A and B are shown apart, each in its own frame.
Chain A
Amino acid sequence: KNEVEQSPQNLTAQEGEFITINCSYSVGISALHWLQQHPGGGIVSLFMLSSGKKKHGRLIATINIQEKHSSLHITASHPRDSAVYICAVSGSARQLTFGSGTQLTVLP
């Protein structure tokens, strides 16, 4: 069993829809990361959180430490949100363990 599981693997939405991507992990962590990988391949960090909730524009990330679960929400989705969204966790050694990613396609 992978240490970091994401669902769904693929997601297609219509522009304007509310989107949720889920991440579950099975190990103790010091932080959870949400990353975005665009079709060109580059990876950028969206959020790093260890408790509660963070918001940046239309993106919201939440984490439930007791349940070992995090969600990434996108409100009012737009075609430019189309990308691969990756969940990763860091432990005491601060190395990252990655999920396999969620391919999001937002149709106009």
Chain B
Amino acid sequence: DADVTQTPRNRITKTGKRIMLECSQTKGHDRMYWYRQDPGLGLQLIYYSFDVKDINKGEISDGYSVSRQAQAKFSLSLESAIPNQTALYFCATSRTSGNEQFFGPGTRLTVL
């Protein structure tokens, strides 16, 4: 089945460390997204990419960077992790012509 995968699924790190979360998809979708989810809050958009050469900031991009290495891969980096970046992170994909988004399983990140 075409799918969206995220690695790692769980990560515990320390303040100040650089962390990379990876997302891969076999759906052939052009659009990819990174979200974070905090308890009691809706998902918030960090970055999104409409194709390999088109990367855009979302509503909470400070402290994060991304790389779209290929149509199928979209990585999220925390340059210097801080405790309030502890959250559940989701990658999602969508077709250029569609509204529906398909989510990866999530990465639970804890920054101590």
Interface size in chain A (residues, C-beta < 8 A): 24
The interface residues of chain A lying within 8 Å CB-to-CB of B108 are: 41
Q: Measured between alpha carbons, how far is A96 from B31 in the docked complex, in Å?
A: 13
Least Cβ–Cβ distance between A60 and chain B, in angstroms? 18
Give residues of chain A (32-70) contacting chain B, Cβ–Cβ below 8 Å: 33, 35, 40-45, 48
Given A42-B106, A43-B90, A99-B42 contact (CB < 8 Å):
yes
Looking at chain A's contact residues, the main secondary structure is strand
- Minimum Cβ distance to chain A for residue B95 (Å): 10
Of chain B, the residue at the smallest CB distance from A97 is B42
Number of interface residues of B (CB under 8 A): 22
- B103 engages A90 (CB within 8 Å): no
Kindly count the residue-residue contacts between A and B in the assembled complex, taking CB atoms under 8 Å apart: 51
Taken together as a complex, chains A and B put the C-alpha atoms of A88 and B99 apart, in Å, by 11
| Binary A-proximity of B19-48 (CB < 8 A = 1, otherwise 0) | 000000000000101000000111111001
Contact, CB under 8 Å: A45 / B40: no
Check B88–A33 contact: CB distance below 8 A. Answer: no
Candidates B31, B43, B94; contact of A98 at CB < 8 Å? B43
> Which residue of chain A has its CB nearest to the CB of B97?
A94
14 further interface pairs, Cβ-Cβ under 8 Å (given A41-B88, A42-B106, A48-B99): A33-B99, A40-B105, A41-B105, A42-B103, A43-B90, A45-B101, A88-B43, A95-B33, A95-B45, A96-B43, A96-B45, A96-B101, A98-B43, A100-B40
